[in-house]
């Protein structure tokens, strides 16, 4: 039963990450590889605040998104002049900078050794130290993020983002400051992504920079492309499939190293087949 709870926790965490990525890519049409960086920022914020200052998770769930959102605001303002592929390359550079900083700032981030001994989440004397209790916490945060992204997608702000995705130049003719809307979407997506990082660090109780690489960003891309870009339901479906299907390989009897490689092959094959035969994804309404 604990294994099922473990899968539910991972599905919830990656559901949060996929929804945030979908807001940025599916909503505003921004091609970004910075998802893993903001995921890591949330995780490191949780780890540092918990181990060095004794903060509980609910305080961290407030601070971490603010930190990630402010960093995204500064980074996004710098990258505002870029579009499409150039923006993607700029966010890749930011991810590389993030990994370089956390690997070398040993006194603060633990460097290559990471941060161990992160305490389990606690509030008012109650500790989320069992798989069932952590499932409850992760699902609650997932529902909150789902509600936020649903509200955004149905709001006038979300409709402007969709228009930017479809034809930014046409919208600019009508006087909309498209760069401001994209910057807001980028910052909100970063803040929501940080929530996933907080939960991940609290659940795993250990983090290091190797957990937040380009592979994680590609995984988030695969999730929203598989489920369907610009659909919150699609993002959740993609997260569910790409977490549960590779886990099923554990029961086939493949060696551990081979199973890990096969997982990467599955991601790649899914992306190739989707681009060829279902470019909008399973539930998508927009083609990347």
Global pTM value: 0.92
Q: Work out the average pLDDT over 102-115.
A: 90
What rounded mean pLDDT belongs to the chain?
88
What does the domain layout of the chain look like in residue ranges?
A: 2-211
Dihedrals phi, psi of 171, to nearest 5 degrees: -70, -35
DSSP state letter for 267: H
Q: Would residue 273 be called left, alpha or beta, if left means φ above 0 and alpha means ψ between -120 and 50 degrees?
A: alpha
Q: Work out the average pLDDT over 269-283.
A: 77
Q: Work out the average pLDDT over 1-29.
A: 93
Gap between the Cα atoms of 268 and 15, Å rounded? 20
Write the pLDDT tens digit of every residue in 37-86. 999 999 999 999 999 998 988 899 999 999 999 999 999 998 877 877 88
* Nearest to 25, CA basis, from 194, 243, 224: 224
């Amino acid at each position: 039963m604990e294994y099922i709870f473990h899968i539910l926790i991972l599905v919830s965490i990656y559901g949060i990450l996929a929804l945030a990525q979908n807001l940025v890519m599916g909503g505003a049409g921004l091609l970004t590889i910075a998802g893993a960086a903001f995921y890591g920022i949330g995780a490191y914020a949780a780890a540092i605040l918990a181990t060095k200052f004794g903060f509980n998770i609910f305080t961290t769930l407030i601070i971490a998104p603010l930190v990630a959102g402010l960093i995204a605001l500064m980074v996004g303002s710098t990258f505002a002049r870029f579009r499409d592929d150039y923006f993607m390359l700029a966010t890749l550079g930011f991810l590389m900078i993030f990994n370089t900083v956390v690997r070398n700032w040993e006194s603060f981030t633990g460097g290559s050794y990471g941060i161990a001994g992160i305490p389990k989440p606690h509030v008012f004397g109650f500790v989320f130290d069992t798989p069932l209790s952590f499932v409850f916490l992760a699902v609650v945060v997932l529902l909150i993020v789902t509600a936020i992204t649903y509200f955004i997608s149905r709001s006038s702000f979300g409709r402007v983002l969709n228009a930017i995705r479809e034809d930014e130049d046409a919208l600019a003719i009508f006087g909309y400051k498209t760069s401001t809307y994209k910057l807001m979407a980028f910052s909100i997506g970063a803040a929501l992504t940080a929530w996933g990082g907080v939960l991940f660090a609290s659940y795993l109780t250990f983090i290091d920079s190797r957990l937040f690489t380009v592979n994680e960003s590609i995984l988030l891309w695969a999730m929203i492309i598989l489920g369907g870009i610009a659909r919150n339901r699609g993002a959740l479906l993609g997260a569910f499939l790409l977490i549960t299907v590779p886990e099923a390989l554990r029961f086939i009897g493949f060696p551990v190293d081979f199973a890990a490689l096969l997982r990467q092959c599955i991601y790649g094959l899914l992306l190739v087949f989707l681009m060829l035969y279902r470019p909008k994804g399973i539930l998508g309404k927009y083609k990347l």
